[in-house]
Structure 1
Amino acid sequence: MIKKMVLPLIAICAIGLALAFNIDRKISPNHIYSKETGFAVVELFTSEGCSSCPPADALVAKIEKESDGKSIYILAYHVDYWDRLGWKDTFSDAKFSARQNQYADWLNLKTVYTPQIVVNGSKEFVGSEEEILRKSISTELAKPNTNNLEISLNKSDEKKLILNYKTNQKTDGYNLIIALVSPMATNKILRGENKGKTLSHIQIVRQFETINLNGKSNGSANITVTNAKQEQVSEIIAFLQNNSTGRITAASRLNITASENLTAKSN
């Protein structure tokens, strides 16, 4: 694990997507969490160029497999500041590094590092710490939560996605975060710290958008998308985040299908 001083990053996103999908998610009969009145958004910051990251990638893959159907939302952001050290991560983006640096500001951290996990925007720790991760998820699931977020697909084509949203909470000072997520991928690493390894990834963020709600509790978000293969994306994960503290107060997911009327609700 290496650390990097917090630097301002310019978010440049040029990730594509074609929305002619029909992907179903399997629900596991194994329920490892109880008293689930809350939710947990688990954000992993990782890189294929980091030798300490594969254990963290494997950990979130295990959590994802065990918790299908639960209110657990896993997002893996591949940061780009490792790219100069011998291997350019296929999934990296400066925008993801900028988000990690934003968390450093919110959580009063002096550095950013990989692998790092942030849960519900309020607790961070080393991404391979399984006991801390499980305890953090269980704590968040057990918290009473009455906030609700609904998202639905209004319209989509190869270049644009229009997403409707609705929430029962006040949205002054909140942003709607929207992530387009790939279910899994593997890459053989040819250079850098992981040279010779074949790495597996899950819940890969391919595109990430921040929508200023301007106090509105319902409306639509327009997202420009380009040039991705349809098998690359399985779902949209959306959540409400306080733009002063980083705290996440509601979350929802939408499975991608050919239907434009599919709706998902948060618990």
Structure 2
Amino acid sequence: MDMAATTSESAISFADHDIPVANLSTISLAKLRAQDPAERAHLVQATSQRGIFLLDLRGDAEGERVLAHLPDVFAVEEKYFSQSAEAKAEDIRHDIRASQDLGWKALKGGESFEISRDELVSRDTKTTTTIPCPPKLFRDQWEKISAFSTGCDEACMMLLNSLSADVVVKHHRADQPSDTGLKMVLLPSLASPPDPEGGVHTDGGSITLLFHHDLSIRAFLQDANGWAFAAPTEGCALVNVADSLQRLSSGKFLSPKHGVAQPFGGVKNRYYLSYFLRPETALLEQWSETN
């Protein structure tokens, strides 16, 4: 499949190759919170045409808190993944469904650790004693991780409310079980770029919010009929619509194909922080029964 988008996306040059970089819409969280009608219309357009955009967290109190904790959460993620495989294997969860990724997991070419929103809230409010104890490295920074996760959740819910309050009321209630959670991912780059088609997918939840450092996320831009990389942008998170929201909106909001890719060779550890807002478990079970 052609690497380049067919419209006026920008490009960077590296080793005589032009790397297509998407010119993504930027949505202001502060303006959405202020219920700015023009910004809400801009959001609807971005989610309908491409399904992927930048969310500017600056100038919003909750967003600024997320940005303030971001360096520390990245630091604890890097420290955690630097442990031995034996140490991390102790954090494998054996009490979860096959569809869940909680705890530590080895991935093809990398690894992940996911924290459930439901368990995080229960642990913080001490409403249950059955929550698995997080790794010591996380316990030392638990307040920051918790605040970061809560801020990401609030941002996702603000986006969802701005798109369709009805969807929130019916299928994303905070007091109902869901697989919403914060995932830390390590996917090192390789000496030679792998096939970019290998990791192409759509997300299964409602909204995904991502922080990353490198030019390593590649998305299909439907309105451009081509592929381009999403560059990390200071003060912003990369957001994409996922399959459940596309289904709940009867296809109005687009869940784009995307994946981790590598525009050029070079071995390096690449770290990602993803927040997956997912609908209530009851809805997914209902869909499973009717499919």
Larger Rg: 2
TM-score by length of 2: 0.28
Which structure: greater helix fraction? 2
Which structure: greater strand fraction? 1
